[in-house]
Structure 1
């Protein structure tokens, strides 16, 4: 079974790590990005099937990162 942060397509989401590194809570991120905590939780736990580019861009802006810092493919 794949890790919790990996979806069926092998895409891994590193949201937990980025939140910890930046000292940001999921609640704060939700407010700053404009996405519900429930939807961020789905993304964080690797259960998201898609992400809008506008959401990805906003996450990167708020977390001061690049898409490759947030997402990776494979092991």
Structure 2
């Protein structure tokens, strides 16, 4: 079984308001060395080992459903499921 780990984040040109709020809270807690925080989404998709169209279909799923291509970017890792 293949496990695809998908990470979706805002593009660098988009203001990450949630990340800024988290950074402010962290700094208020006394951790003033934290200079940047980015909020994102994480997904795990499982596929059979012999799935021939894995990368093509993962790209399509990410483009059409998991990420908003106007403001978000994604990357993924393919690993063996435990």
Fold in common (TM above 0.5): no
Return the structure number with greater helix share.
1
Q: Looking at secondary structure, tell me which structure has more strand per residue.
A: 2
Higher RCO structure, 1 or 2 (CA under 8 Å, sep 6+)? 2
TM, length-normalised to structure 1: 0.29
